[in-house]
Structure 1
Amino acid sequence: MTERHNAFFTDIAEATRLTQAGRLGEATALIQRSLGGANLSAEGARPTDASPAPHGTPRLEGPATRLDPEVDAAQATLIPERLRENIDHVMQGLRSLVPSLNGLTGGGQQAPGPNGTEPDGVASEGGQFVERSFSNAAGARDYKLFIPSPRSGPRPLLVMLHGCSQSPEDFAAGTRMNTLAEEEGVYVAYPRQTSRANAQKCWNWFEPGDQGREMGEAGIVAGLVRAICAEHSIDRSRIYIAGLSAGGAAAANIARAYPDLFAGLGVHSGLAAGCARDLSSALSAMRVGAPGAAEPGGAAGFGAGAVTQKLRVPTIVFHGEGDGTVHPRNADAVLAQAGIEALTPRQEGGINGRHSYTRTRYADDAGRIQVEAWSVQGAGHAWCGGSSAGSYTDPNGPDASRAMLDFFLSHSLTGGQG
């Protein structure tokens, strides 16, 4: 087979993968180029993220250019009519050939791992891990969605926000959340932060415009959740959000802004909602701990012990006592926002791997656990009990993914704790 033929079939395989992921505009552009037609304008192309920064580089960056919503339909106007008819014909054929071409594309549902293999823990037998895109008035983001094997009745949904320099694929592999989600029949959405939105792909948790309801990244994630609910059979009383580091801080912002949408919050190595209003206050909170939280965009709430607005969502917190990136005092600020002063603590300890830990559960007057805190001795800035297949993980210590999922599934918006 000639080199030209090899290239053509490679392009067809990639177009198949893009088609499966719902990215028809990109698939169309690829086929158009492969057929030798006129080039599309580069403005319609989706930007490629920069490679993740080395672990030793600073993770917090200031505001960057926002990602504009992408509209596949706009690309179609750039393709001559006759060529577009040919492309449409090829695309119809691709859709019918998807099952037989899966072997060429690795299933077309997830990014390949090292040496062309899939990251360990990204996909589970019986489930699917697919690429999706979302846009609304607040902005646009791609995301990966884990769809569990079919179950009867509406299913829970968990949103997972990755840390700086990470990706949905990396975060899924490191937390192994998809494996647990398949066991429990839970959908998991992994929104993708881009280098266009933040140079290090951090969620902009320290920006007032991304902290409030229907604002910036908080509004994008909430809209993304609503879109998933409209497309899939989701139990809207059992929607949860969790994140690591910058993703944990963003999750706290979003849960505080949408207590009517989320039935549970998980913050791993993160910070309290609204604890920073700019880069300077963010760096200070990361270095010495955030004393409290302010209203989005406000200047108050940064005095010692000030917590001006409570989290009204059941909350679970994980933090390593040896975390040198986000000070462990930030876990105390999240717990203060969760209202532990009005709850009764029940403390226990244990050893898992090389790490000992203290687990404190906080119950209300009816005995229902509303807040849970895990303090892990010897752990640093990493997801506890995670897999080495992903970045920022510590295979030793208690399994944060299992603990979070168990905590979440015991709560719902309508029934309290189950």
Structure 2
Amino acid sequence: MVDMSEILNMVREGRLSEATSSIQRRLSGDDASTPTGTGPMKDVTPKARVLPEPGPATVKKTRGKSVRPKRDAWSGKPRRPATEPPLPAGSQWLARGGDLPYRLFVPSTPKADAPLIVMLHGCTQTPEDFATGTAMQAAAEAAGAYVIWPEQSNRANMNRCWNWFEPAHQGRSGEAARIVAIVAKVLDEIGDRRTVHAAGLSAGGAMAAILGAQYPDVFTSVGIHSGLPAGSAQDVGSAFAAMGSGGRAGVALAVPAIVFHGTADRTVAFANAAALLPGGKLPPDAPQRRDRIGGRQVSVATVTIPGQSHPSELWEVADLGHAWSGGDAAGSYADPVGPDATAEMMRFFSGR
């Protein structure tokens, strides 16, 4: 059994090949320390050189034999990358190029008071795959909201991870600045100044935290699912340490946040959820409600942060692994068992 501290020591000592093998065993479920039944866990490998791109497998012929794709842990169906997300009638899915390519979801009937949402995918994902797994386009259609889906390239990171752990991307620069530039472009295109919100899964959640910490002049609130605090890592070694045991925010969130995290997440430790709050922990007097929602036990804490107009929410989801809660299993890293993170984030964004 190999734990994160051993892997971290390997990385620090430059034993990258041993670290790679150990991480692959851990994330693929071959390591004895990885519980079964929590789904795929290859999502947040922070550095392209540490792990090869694991992406969903496809059926192919090898020496005359069919090699079947890996099956999704929740649906039991072959897991293939979603190339086209389901779209509501009359809506549009527009592909845009540039320094940072993105897709733009345009609802059939845009509403001026609806939010503009930026959705940041996790490692190995694409906008299409992430849209399929979260079904945010359906929620956006109902609200009349536009959605921006930036796409990380495998040139910037072999695993298509946002480089949340590198200082160059943790301030008002780098990938964060490119995402903000897209927001400005879309706002100019649609011709209004509606509120803007960012949400992401895993590495995308970590990037959403950076946007919420560094750009309160752009974003009204953020949604962070299975992510990490802004500035919780400065390099590969500290990234694995934060993922394994919980990071410390280098920069506090400057806007309200809705945070989702599963207690069975073995890729990004649940401790990272509370680390997103002021002081890095849940205040003992924070109001909490406990309920069974969508098939899982859930604890929802409401935290009022001084200087912020609305409270933040922390959703602790029992037995959820590293996957979008209440998602569509046709997309990767999406667990169909609730609660519905997409619906709750849309509620949170729409109320601001």
Q: TM-score range by the shorter chain?
A: 0.7 to 0.9
1:123 to 82, 87, 90: 87
Give the partner amino acid of 1:313. V
Residue pair 1:356, 1:397 contacting (<8 A) in 2 also = no
1:233 aligns with 2:174: no
1:132 to 96, 102, 120: 96
- Describe the superposition over 1:226-255 as per-residue Cα deviations: whole angstroms up to 9, x where unpaired: 01011113434x100010000000111122
1:60 aligns with 2:38: no
Aligned to 1:172: 131
- Describe the superposition over 1:253-284 as per-residue Cα deviations: whole angstroms up to 9, x where unpaired: 12211011000111000000110010110000
Aligned to 1:385: 326
Aligned with 1:319: secondary structure? strand
Aligned with 1:235: secondary structure? coil
Distance 1:166 1:234, change over 3 A: farther
Residue pair 1:384, 1:400 contacting (<8 A) in 2 also = yes
Aligned to 1:348: 289
How far residue 345 of structure 1 moved from its aligned partner, in angstroms, is 2.2
CA RMSD across the alignment: 2.8
Distance 1:180 1:368, change over 3 A: same
- Describe the superposition over 1:35-77 as per-residue Cα deviations: whole angstroms up to 9, x where unpaired: xxxxxxxxxxxxxxxxxx985657424368xxxxxxxxxxxxx
- Describe the superposition over 1:84-131 as per-residue Cα deviations: whole angstroms up to 9, x where unpaired: xxxxxxxxxxxxxxxxxxxxxxxxxxxxxx9999755x3112211110
Distance 1:340 1:371, change over 3 A: farther
How far residue 354 of structure 1 moved from its aligned partner, in angstroms, is 3.3
**Greater share of helix:** 1
Distance 1:132 1:154, change over 3 A: farther
CA distance in structure 2 between the partners assigned to 1:358 and 1:116 by the alignment = 32
CA distance in structure 2 between the partners assigned to 1:224 and 1:150 by the alignment = 22
CA distance in structure 1 between the partners assigned to 2:341 and 2:192 by the alignment = 24
Give the partner amino acid of 1:219. A
Aligned to 1:283: 240
CA distance in structure 1 between the partners assigned to 2:322 and 2:100 by the alignment = 26
Q: Which has the higher contact order (CA 8 A, sep 6+)?
A: 2
Aligned to 2:227: 270
Aligned to 2:217: 260
Residue pair 1:153, 1:233 contacting (<8 A) in 2 also = no
Give the partner amino acid of 1:220. R
2:253 to 294, 304, 311: 311
Aligned to 2:340: 399
Aligned to 1:322: 264
Question: What runs of 5+ residues in structure 1 fail to find an aligned partner?
Answer: 1-52, 65-113, 135-139, 295-308, 412-418
How far residue 133 of structure 1 moved from its aligned partner, in angstroms, is 1.9
Distance 1:248 1:231, change over 3 A: same
Aligned to 2:121: 162
Aligned to 1:332: 274
Distance 1:346 1:402, change over 3 A: same
Residue pair 1:63, 1:204 contacting (<8 A) in 2 also = no
1:372 aligns with 2:313: yes
Distance 1:158 1:209, change over 3 A: same
Residue pair 2:117, 2:196 contacting (<8 A) in 1 also = yes
Aligned to 1:242: 199
CA distance in structure 1 between the partners assigned to 2:82 and 2:262 by the alignment = 31
Identity of aligned residues (%): 42
Give the partner amino acid of 1:131. A
Residue pair 1:311, 1:337 contacting (<8 A) in 2 also = no
Residue pair 1:157, 1:188 contacting (<8 A) in 2 also = yes
CA distance in structure 1 between the partners assigned to 2:220 and 2:279 by the alignment = 16
Aligned to 1:147: 106
- How many residue pairs end up in the alignment? 286
Give the partner amino acid of 1:278. D
